[in-house]
Amino acid sequence: MGSRHQNSNSTEKEEGDDGGVSGAAVGVTAVAGAAALVVWGLSKLFGSSKPEENNNMLMGSTALEGGYDDDKWTKPKYDWFKLNTDASGGLIRDHRGEWMIGFTAKLETSDITLAELHAVREGLKLALEEGLTKVIIETDSEQAVDLIKNPNKVNPRNISLRSKIEECRSLMMKHSDWELFHICREKNRCADAMAKMAKNQMEQLIIWEQTPTNLHIQNLLSADII
């Protein structure tokens, strides 16, 4: 089957508090230039005093092959890996678009933002366990990206949400290079299919070392690399 099942505390029950979270639009910054572009590090993100600088660092496109198009998943450049997540599932692919590893998680929370952040966290942990340190993170949750960039927007009383955000930021700092993007749902179809698969599982967490036999997911993976 090519999967590892876990029923430990990998995925805990979490309920979001009723503290408010202010929304914000995520701006996409195009970085142009003939020379090789520098991937901005997390240390600079934490040291920046201007919110707009944080946005630029997190929304750069230096590790993409062929740029972004409106509705098609894009391969990362050589030596980079791409993590796509969607609430209760995710997957990591290499520069050829080939499957590296994936996960499905059984979440017991009604807070969709908390679920999206949990998926980002699980994906980052998995990447580190696999020794993949140059990672592009993509999610179709605009709010999750915004809160990772701007944790001060979270109500201080919302302990669960603040804790999850800090976990994501801490894991990102352990990667040598990383980039974070909000993408449209069309680009995130494979992660969405993984999340839907998780709805029927009894295990708290399943690690997919090989591509699932689910025909729909296999077709989506093939379509992404055409």
pLDDT at 188: 98
Quick check: 21 and 113 in contact, CB under 8 A? yes
Residue 110: the pLDDT is 86
pLDDT at res. 109: 85
The topology (CATH level 3) of 3-8+39-63+75-224 is: Nucleotidyltransferase; domain 5 (3.30.420)
**3-state SS assignment for residue 22:** coil
Give pLDDT, residue 26.
35
Contacts by 51-60, CB closer than 8 A, 24 or more apart: 51/150, 54/149, 54/150, 55/26, 55/27, 55/29, 55/149, 56/29, 58/145, 58/148, 58/149, 58/179, 58/180, 58/181, 59/26, 59/27, 59/28, 59/29, 59/180, 59/181, 59/182, 60/29, 60/31, 60/179
What per-residue confidence (pLDDT) applies to 84?
Answer: 99
* Residue 149 and residue 124 in contact, taking contact as beta carbons nearer than 8 Å: no
Mean per-residue pLDDT pooled into runs of 10, the chain (226 residues): 58 42 36 36 38 39 47 94 97 98 91 96 97 96 96 94 97 94 96 94 95 96 94
Give the pLDDT of residue 107: 82
Orientation angle between helical segments 159-173 and 142-149, nearest 10 degrees:
70
pLDDT at position 62 is 42
**What is the predicted pLDDT for the residue at 113?**
96
- Residue 64 in 3-state DSSP? strand
pLDDT of residue 192: 97
